[in-house]
């Protein structure tokens, strides 16, 4: 079966609603958790629990969608989000909050299976474009969600959770009522392995770029506030710039460039841009070392943010399209589930790595580490002698 444009738009809208709910709740977790538990390490575990569970279970959901179809698994994922956000809204203990994160990660199959649904009906040369649209939805969600959550939280910690649950429930109803299935049911194709669904370079690229990018959420505010003397408003503006550039590149530019350059080259170029952007960040401190030169420091920092976010915007959809292209039509869910496993693990590793680098090496050290990780990822992608599963030439 093919995925008609109407179904594609509906699915993208449903995923956007679900992601906005996720982005409403996530920034509030540390503050809500601090009511019950003050240790930073434990609060960090609360935030990471979602990704840890997704690391274990995402490939299983992907394989199941290969067998029984995408639609049923998407519906389970949206219902899981509803349950998780209701638990968050009603939580009266740290254990209840942790359970909400476990439910969210364990049943959070929507993004992976949405990728597979889109891949089922999209020509290979257009997959970077549709994967970029999903990535753009993620960026839009994290532009809108924190603002909605911050406003709602003024009326108490429960309201943001109820709003998020309502958004995911709406996504469930849209998919249940209107989304067609994108494929026929198939027999099981056996257990997944990275070797069986394509060479490892795309997964190394995904891990490196995701770990480096998520490290930014720890390292960047610390550096801006403590090394550059920015207030939180300025930091927020920089994150808004980061989100805007990522949305534009993922939603438009990646899809335009992929047919010309090829997904692999585009992913490698994205990783290299990320490395260059991370390397630029500490230069902002030198450029703005005096009050008179403060404007230069802001300009250098803004340039760094544009470069590294553009790199991530190119790498993300290109890697997803590359994995999809190599997987074969009967293994889309499995391959993209493995990709989510890798990126989930990267989200668990990246922030603590940045924190450790800042503690032991200084505030600029995380950016050097992130640049190195991105460079290694680019090297892995560049060195691979690619021969895709569909037998077509790959660039």
Please report whether residue 394 resides in a domain: no
Based on the fold, state whether residues 33 and 129 are members of the same structural domain: yes
Mean pLDDT (the chain) is: 84
Based on the fold, state whether residues 268 and 155 are members of the same structural domain: no
Share of the chain above pLDDT 90, in %: 38
Averaged pLDDT, 257-270: 90
Based on the fold, state whether residues 379 and 255 are members of the same structural domain: yes
State which residues form the domain around 38. Answer: 5-178
Please report whether residue 388 resides in a domain: no
pLDDT at residue 126 in the model: 81
Note the pLDDT tens digit of each residue in 298-316: 889 999 999 999 999 999 9
Based on the fold, state whether residues 240 and 338 are members of the same structural domain: yes
Based on the fold, state whether residues 35 and 113 are members of the same structural domain: yes
Note the pLDDT tens digit of each residue in 288-299: 544 434 567 788
Q: Which tops the pLDDT comparison, 269 or 193?
A: 269
Based on the fold, state whether residues 174 and 203 are members of the same structural domain: no
Note the pLDDT tens digit of each residue in 55-95: 888 888 988 988 898 999 999 999 999 999 999 999 989 99
Based on the fold, state whether residues 241 and 293 are members of the same structural domain: yes
First to last CA, the chain: 28
Neighbour tally for 321: CB within 10 Å: 31
Based on the fold, state whether residues 209 and 151 are members of the same structural domain: no
Domain end among 149, 178, 207 = 178
Note the pLDDT tens digit of each residue in 210-238: 999 988 887 888 888 888 888 767 887 88
Please report whether residue 109 resides in a domain: yes
Please report whether residue 82 resides in a domain: yes
Q: Which tops the pLDDT comparison, 187 or 175?
A: 175
Based on the fold, state whether residues 285 and 157 are members of the same structural domain: no
Domain end among 146, 178, 210 = 178
Domain end among 178, 209, 234 = 178
Please report whether residue 189 resides in a domain: no
Count up the domains in the chain and report the number.
2
Based on the fold, state whether residues 260 and 115 are members of the same structural domain: no
Q: Which tops the pLDDT comparison, 353 or 377?
A: 377
Please report whether residue 294 resides in a domain: yes
Q: How confident is the model at residue 395 (pLDDT cuts 50, 70, 90)?
A: low
Based on the fold, state whether residues 283 and 153 are members of the same structural domain: no
Based on the fold, state whether residues 167 and 205 are members of the same structural domain: no
Please report whether residue 185 resides in a domain: no
pLDDT at residue 5 in the model: 56
pLDDT at residue 280 in the model: 95
Please report whether residue 300 resides in a domain: yes
CATH number of the domain that 237 lies in? 1.20.1250.20
């Amino acid at each position: 079966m093919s995925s008609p444009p109407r179904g594609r738009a509906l699915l993208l809208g449903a995923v956007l609603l679900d992601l906005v709910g996720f982005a409403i709740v996530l920034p509030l977790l540390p503050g809500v958790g601090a009511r019950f538990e003050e240790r930073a390490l434990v609060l960090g575990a609360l935030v990471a629990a979602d990704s840890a569970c997704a690391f274990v279970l995402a490939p299983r959901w992907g394989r199941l969608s290969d067998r029984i179809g995408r639609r049923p698994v998407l519906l389970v994922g949206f219902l899981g989000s509803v349950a998780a956000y209701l638990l968050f809204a009603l939580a009266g203990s740290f254990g209840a909050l942790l359970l909400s994160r476990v439910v969210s990660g364990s049943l959070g199959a929507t993004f992976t299976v949405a990728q597979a649904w889109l891949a089922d009906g999209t020509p290979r040369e257009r997959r970077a474009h549709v994967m970029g649209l999903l990535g753009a939805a993620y960026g839009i969600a994290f532009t809108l969600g924190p603002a909605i959550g911050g406003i709602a939280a003024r009326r108490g910690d429960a309201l943001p959770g109820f709003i998020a649950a309502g958004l995911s429930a709406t996504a469930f109803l849209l998919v249940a009522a209107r989304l067609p299935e994108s494929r026929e049911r198939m027999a099981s194709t056996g257990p997944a392995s990275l070797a069986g669904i394509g060479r490892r370079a795309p997964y190394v690229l995904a891990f490196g770029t995701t770990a480096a990018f998520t490290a930014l959420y720890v390292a960047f505010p610390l550096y801006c506030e403590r090394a550059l003397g920015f207030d939180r408003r300025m930091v927020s503006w920089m994150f808004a710039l980061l989100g805007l550039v990522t949305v534009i590149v993922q939603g438009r530019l990646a899809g335009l460039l992929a047919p010309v350059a090829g997904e692999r080259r585009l992913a490698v170029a994205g990783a290299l841009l990320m490395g260059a952007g991370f390397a630029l960040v500490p230069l902002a401190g030198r450029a703005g070392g005096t009050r008179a030169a403060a404007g230069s420091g802001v300009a250098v920092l803004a340039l760094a943010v544009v470069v590294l976010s553009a790199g991530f915007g190119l790498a993300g959809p290109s890697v997803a399209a590359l994995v999809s292209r190599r997987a074969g039509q009967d293994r889309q869910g499995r391959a993209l589930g493995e990709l989510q496993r890798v990126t989930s693990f990267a989200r668990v590793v990246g922030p603590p790595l940045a924190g450790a680098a800042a503690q032991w090496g200084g505030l600029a050290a995380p950016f050097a580490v992130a640049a190195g990780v991105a460079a290694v990822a680019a090297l892995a992608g560049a060195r691979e002698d690619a021969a895709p599963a569909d037998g077509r030439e790959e660039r």
